[in-house]
C-alpha cells in the first residue's frame, strides 16, 4: 500500500509541476551555492550550461533539504532562505513561508508572480564618478500542466558608454540610445514534459564551464530571440539546441532607402539578416563526470535555412553541401569535460574550435589553428567551511571568433558571442572567497590578461602562420576586493575596491579605467 501511495504522489507531482521558466544567469548566488553543494557530493548538477529552470533549482534545493543534517549552519540557512522562493514550484498552494513578492497568486490551474526591479551602482576614482541605474519589472506564470511564461523589462542608464563592443570587459552588452540609455527586454514561452522542453525565448544563455567568462557562449551580448530545445531522455544524456536570430549591424544597401520626412529626406538603414544554430550534447559516463561536445554555425541567408532547424546535425557538413564550390558559412565546434569526482573539487576544461586542420597542426609555418582553450578548478568548503579557491587559465589563438565576412562573425550587435577578450589573448584568473553568514559573500581576486595584435584586417589572405602574442598590444592587471549581502530575496547591497593597471591600445578600455586606477564602487538593487 505504501508503494502505491508513493507512486500516486510521484505521478501527480510530475503531472502538476512540469512547467519551466528560466532563472536568469545574473543571479550568481543560487548557481554558485548549488555548484558548491554538488562539489560536496550532496547533489548532482550539470554546470556546463545556464540558465537552469526554476523547477530544476527547486528540485535540487528539495534534495538538500532531505540531507539537512549534512549541511553546516550557514548552508542550512541558505537552503531555507531559497526555498521561500522556489517552494513556488514545489508546493501545491501558496500556504508556506514565502518570500516577499509584489504580487503572487496560485490555484490549481494558474500561477503568477510579479516583482519590481530597481538598482543603482556608483564607481569613483581619481578620474571622477560613473554610475549605472536601472528600473523595471519582471513576472513569470504557469498555466495548466505544461506551459510556462516569463517576461522581464528594464530601462538602463550609464553616465558614460563604458560597455561598448570594443571594450574588453565583462559588462553585459548594450544597444545605447541617446544619452547613454538602453533597454533590455527578456522573456519566453515554454512547453514542457517530463524529460524535455521547447521554447521561444529572448534571453541570455551560457555554454561552457567557467569562472571568469565562458569561451563558448558567454551570454554577454544583448539578448536575442532563439528557439530553445532541451532534452534529458535518460540519466546519462542531456541535449540542448538553439536557433538564434542575431543582429549583424551590417547595412544592406540594396534594401536601405530614402524617404520623405516632412521637408527633409531621411535614409532608412536596413541590416543584413544573420542567424545562428548550435547544439550541445552532454554525456555522463560516470557519476559526477560530464563530457560535452557540440557544434554551431553562423549564417546570413535571407531567411532561416531549414536544414539548420534540424537539431541534431553536424552543421559544417550541411554547409559544405549547401554552399559547395563557394565561400562557406562560419562554423565552429566545441568540447568540454567537467569533473566533481574528487569531493569538494570541481575541475573543468573547454575547447572552442573555430577552424582546425590536422595537416598543418605540426607545421611551424602554418601553426595557426584557430582555437580557444580554458582550463580551471574550484575548491570549496575544504579545508575551511564556507570558503573557496578558484583558478582559471584561458588562451585564445589569433583570429579565433573572427571572420573576414562581416555578416558571419561570431557576434551579435558587434559583441563577441564567445570570450569577452576575443582573440590573440591569454588570461589568468585567481580568487579566494568566503561566505561567513547567510547571504554574505566576500571575494578577493586577481586577473591578468595580455592581448596581441589585431589581424582581422588581413581578410581571407595571409591568415596562416600568425604567431600567438608576437607582441603585446594591451595588458590589464586587476586586484579586486568585492563583497555583497543579500538582505532579502533579490535585494543586494554591494561594495568593491579595484586596483587596475591597464596599458597599451586605448581602444580596448574605457578611458575611465585606462592607466593606473584605484576605484571604489557601491551599489544597491532589488532584482537584477
Domain with 139 in it: what CATH number? 2.40.160.130
pTM above 0.85, yes or no: yes
Residues facing residue 396 across a β-bridge: 372, 425
Per-residue pLDDT reduced to its tens digit, 158-177: 999 999 999 999 999 999 98
Which residue's C-alpha cell is 575547447?
A: 351
Show the low-confidence residues of the chain (pLDDT under 50).
1-17
Residue 7 is predicted with a pLDDT of 35
| Total tally of structural domains belonging to the chain | 1
Phi, psi of 162 (to 5 degrees): -85, 5
Phi, psi of 496 (to 5 degrees): -155, 160
C-beta neighbour count of 8 within 10 angstroms:
10
- CA separation, residue 403 to residues 257, 311, 516 (Å): 28, 24, 34
Contacts 24+ apart (CB under 8 A), 315-322: 315/277
Residues facing residue 339 across a β-bridge: 289, 347
Residue 96 is predicted with a pLDDT of 92
CA–CA distance, 485 with 438 (Å, rounded to integer): 9
Range of the domain at 89: 2-526
User: Residue 320 is placed in which grid cell?
Assistant: 559544405
Average pLDDT score over the chain:
92
Q: Is the distance from CB of 334 to CB of 293 less than 8 angstroms?
A: yes
DSSP class of 216: S
CA–CA distance, 418 with 204 (Å, rounded to integer): 13
Residue 361 is predicted with a pLDDT of 56
Residue 365 is predicted with a pLDDT of 57
Residue 139 is predicted with a pLDDT of 98
3-state class of 98 per DSSP? coil
Amino acid at each position: 500500500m505504501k508503494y502505491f501511495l508513493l507512486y500516486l504522489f510521484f505521478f501527480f507531482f510530475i503531472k502538476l509541476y512540469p512547467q519551466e521558466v528560466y532563472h536568469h544567469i545574473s543571479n550568481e548566488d543560487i548557481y554558485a551555492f548549488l555548484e558548491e553543494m554538488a562539489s560536496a557530493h550532496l547533489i548532482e548538477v550539470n554546470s556546463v550550461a545556464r540558465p537552469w529552470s526554476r523547477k530544476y533549482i527547486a528540485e535540487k534545493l528539495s534534495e538538500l533539504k532531505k540531507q539537512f543534517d549534512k549541511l553546516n549552519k550557514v548552508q542550512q540557512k541558505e537552503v531555507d532562505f531559497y526555498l521561500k522562493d522556489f517552494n513556488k514550484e514545489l508546493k501545491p498552494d501558496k500556504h508556506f513561508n514565502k518570500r516577499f513578492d509584489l504580487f503572487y497568486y496560485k490555484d490549481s490551474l494558474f500561477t503568477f508572480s510579479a516583482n519590481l526591479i530597481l538598482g543603482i551602482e556608483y564607481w569613483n576614482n581619481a578620474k571622477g564618478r560613473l554610475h549605472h541605474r536601472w528600473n523595471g519589472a519582471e513576472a513569470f506564470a504557469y498555466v495548466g500542466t505544461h506551459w510556462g511564461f516569463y517576461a522581464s523589462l528594464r530601462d538602463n542608464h550609464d553616465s558614460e558608454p563604458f560597455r561598448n563592443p570594443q571594450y574588453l570587459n565583462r559588462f553585459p552588452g548594450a544597444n545605447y540610445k541617446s544619452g547613454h540609455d538602453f533597454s533590455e527586454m527578456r522573456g519566453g514561452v515554454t512547453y514542457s514534459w517530463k524529460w524535455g522542453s521547447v521554447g521561444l525565448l529572448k534571453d541570455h544563455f551560457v555554454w561552457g564551464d567557467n569562472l571568469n567568462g565562458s569561451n563558448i557562449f558567454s551570454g554577454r551580448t544583448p539578448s536575442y530571440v532563439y528557439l530553445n530545445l532541451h532534452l534529458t531522455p535518460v540519466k546519462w544524456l542531456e541535449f540542448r539546441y538553439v536557433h538564434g536570430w542575431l543582429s549583424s549591424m551590417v547595412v544592406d544597401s540594396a534594401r536601405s532607402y530614402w524617404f520623405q520626412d516632412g521637408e527633409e529626406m531621411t535614409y532608412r538603414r536596413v541590416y543584413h539578416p544573420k542567424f545562428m544554430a548550435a547544439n550541445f550534447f552532454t554525456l555522463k559516463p560516470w557519476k559526477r563526470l560530464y563530457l560535452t561536445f557540440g557544434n554551431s554555425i553562423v549564417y546570413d541567408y535571407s531567411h532561416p535555412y531549414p536544414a539548420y532547424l534540424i537539431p541534431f546535425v553536424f552543421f559544417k557538413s550541411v554547409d559544405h553541401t549547401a554552399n559547395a564550390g563557394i565561400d562557406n558559412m562560419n562554423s565552429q565546434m566545441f568540447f568540454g569535460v567537467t569533473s566533481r569526482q574528487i569531493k569538494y573539487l570541481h575541475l573543468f576544461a573547454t575547447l572552442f574550435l573555430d577552424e582546425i586542420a590536422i595537416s598543418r597542426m605540426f607545421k611551424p609555418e602554418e601553426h595557426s589553428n584557430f582555437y580557444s582553450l580554458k582550463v580551471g578548478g574550484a575548491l570549496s568548503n575544504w579545508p575551511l567551511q564556507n570558503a573557496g579557491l578558484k583558478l582559471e587559465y584561458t588562451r585564445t589563438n589569433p583570429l579565433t571568433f573572427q571572420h573576414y565576412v562581416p555578416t558571419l562573425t561570431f557576434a551579435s550587435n558587434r559583441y563577441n558571442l564567445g570570450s569577452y577578450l576575443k582573440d590573440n589573448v591569454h588570461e589568468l584568473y585567481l580568487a579566494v572567497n568566503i561566505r561567513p553568514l547567510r547571504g554574505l559573500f566576500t571575494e578577493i581576486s586577481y586577473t591578468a590578461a595580455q592581448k596581441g595584435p589585431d589581424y582581422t584586417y588581413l581578410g581571407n589572405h595571409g591568415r596562416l602562420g600568425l604567431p600567438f602574442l608576437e607582441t603585446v598590444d594591451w595588458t590589464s592587471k586587476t586586484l579586486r576586493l568585492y563583497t555583497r549581502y543579500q538582505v532579502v530575496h533579490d535585494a543586494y547591497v554591494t561594495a568593491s575596491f579595484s586596483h587596475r593597471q591597464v596599458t597599451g591600445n586605448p581602444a580596448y578600455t574605457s578611458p575611465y579605467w585606462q592607466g593606473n586606477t584605484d576605484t571604489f564602487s557601491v551599489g544597491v538593487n532589488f532584482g537584477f
